[in-house]
Amino acid sequence: MSAAPQHGRRRAEPVRPVSRREARKASHTDAKVAGPAKRMAIVAVAGALLAGGGLAQAATNNATASLASASLVSGGTQASAAPSAISAPTDVAIDFSRIQVSSTKAAKATSQSLSGAADAVTPVATPPAAKAAAPAPTKAAAPVLVDDPAAAQQYAAGQLAAHGWGADQMSCLTQLWNRESSWLTSAENASSGAYGIAQSLPAEKMAVAGADYRTNYKTQINWGLGYIEGRYGSPCGAWGHSNSVGWY
């Protein structure tokens, strides 16, 4: 049989005081319950922090990529766009440190000034190159004296016809110049100074026949035959005169 329900305000039960032993036991129980909960709370907070850091890093990367993409797009746009022309008055002069940028008129004036200064410079005359020293004149070789009586007589025999004489005149000529010089080109009379095969006096008379009259028997014979023709008519006429007076 159930108890009859009670109506009206329930009377408050009196509060029983808690002993120290019961308090310590309750505190220990609460600690046991709170320990795992506290650790779980710490793990949850750490996980939240790590998740928040990853999201922040991803957001940063996305922001960087967006900025780089925007920069590339902006750069491509700027590169493809043609630079606008910059105009300035023609008489503008801009001065920088140690650099002067002037207008076209000023540049022309400066160029004309420099050109005038260059024209005013007196060019330095280049000294003429020293002439090469002329080679020393080569001295002509001294003529060789030829004393060859046989060759001289052979040459004389070949010249008789040029003066209109026959071969019979050679005998008289041979005897005449044997007496005078023995047909030696270098023959010289010590007392009179007569020289050569024909004994020219002085020797310089033979220069009309050639400058080598002192060394060349041909030159001496050419002169002697001309002298005989002009003075005695023939070698035999000269030989007869020599036999008559001792000289010709």
- Say if CB 193 and CB 201 are below 8 A apart: yes
Cβ neighbours of residue 239 under 8 Å, at least 6 residues apart?
172, 173, 175, 176, 248
What percent of the chain lies above the pLDDT cut of 90?
Answer: 41
The predicted-structure confidence for 89-114, as pLDDT tens digits, reads as follows 555 555 545 555 555 555 566 666 65
DSSP state of 168: T
- Say if CB 199 and CB 189 are below 8 A apart: yes
Query: How sure is the predictor about 158, in pLDDT bands with cuts at 50, 70 and 90?
Result: very high
The predicted-structure confidence for 110-157, as pLDDT tens digits, reads as follows 666 656 655 655 656 666 666 666 777 777 666 787 899 999 999 999
Q: What's the confidence (pLDDT) of residue 144? A: 80
The predicted-structure confidence for 27-79, as pLDDT tens digits, reads as follows 555 555 455 666 676 666 666 666 665 555 655 555 555 545 444 444 444 44
DSSP state of 195: B
pTM, two decimal places:
0.45
Cβ neighbours of residue 242 under 8 Å, at least 6 residues apart?
176, 179, 248
Rounded Cα distance between 177 and 116, Å, is 91
Please say if the pLDDT value at position 234 is more than 60.
yes
Query: How sure is the predictor about 186, in pLDDT bands with cuts at 50, 70 and 90?
Result: very high
Cβ-in-10-Å burial (0-12, 13-18, 19+) of 157 comes to middle
Q: What's the confidence (pLDDT) of residue 222? A: 98
Rounded Cα distance between 74 and 63, Å, is 16
The neighbour count for residue 224, using CB atoms within 10 Å, is 26
